[in-house]
Amino acid sequence: MAAGRVNFWSTTAEKKGTSLTLRGSGTTHRVLAQEHLVQQVLDVLLDNACKYAPRGQLRVGVAATGRNIVAVTVADSGPGVRSADLGRLSERFFRGGISADRGAPNPPGTGLGLAIAAALAENMGGTLRLSQTPGGGLTATVEIPGVPNPESTREGRTA
């Protein structure tokens, strides 16, 4: 599913001069969640990254991170956020300020995207973690219950 979402968002990224790449282990990871919820989380994270990383890079990664956990990471090379705002980015209606040393204007938005992604992750029994991307930008990691399943390629339940 991650490959399908990356393919879908690649046109939006390209229009903004941003490269979008998918990295994974080559193993299909099966998640224990409804397809539409996983798709919504990926769409929110990719939309957010496309808004904040014009003319930059977006990297999506999928990996098993431990016992029965699949992590999907979206890292951008945008301006990043102020350290003081990082812990509040998943609060409803909160819009963090751009990192002062990167000086880009805030794109329009409501401050709901990351709150929705966090709520969806929680609804799937998972979590959303946000951190600074080394070199600038934001990294969003959603961890979802699942198991590596190299034989499964069924669309809709794979990340």
CA 10 to chain centre: 14
Kindly state the average pLDDT of the residues 13-33.
84
Tokens of 19: 């490269």
- Name the residue ranges covered by the structural domains of the chain: 2-148
Kindly state the average pLDDT of the residues 88-117.
72
Q: Alpha-carbon distance 56 to 87, whole Å? A: 24
66 backbone φψ class: left, alpha, beta (φ>0; ψ -120 to 50): left
Compare 116 and 154 and report the one with higher pLDDT: 116
pLDDT for residue 87 is more than 60:
yes
pLDDT for residue 110 is more than 90:
no
pLDDT in tens, 127-154: 999 998 888 889 999 999 987 565 544 4
Half-sphere CA count of 135, side-chain side, radius 13 A? 7
Q: For domain 2-148, which CATH number applies: 3.90.45.10, 3.30.565.10, 3.40.50.300, 3.40.50.10320?
A: 3.30.565.10
**pLDDT range class, residue 3, cuts 50, 70, 90:** confident
pTM to 2 decimals?
A: 0.82
H-only helix segments in the chain = 2-15, 35-52, 113-123
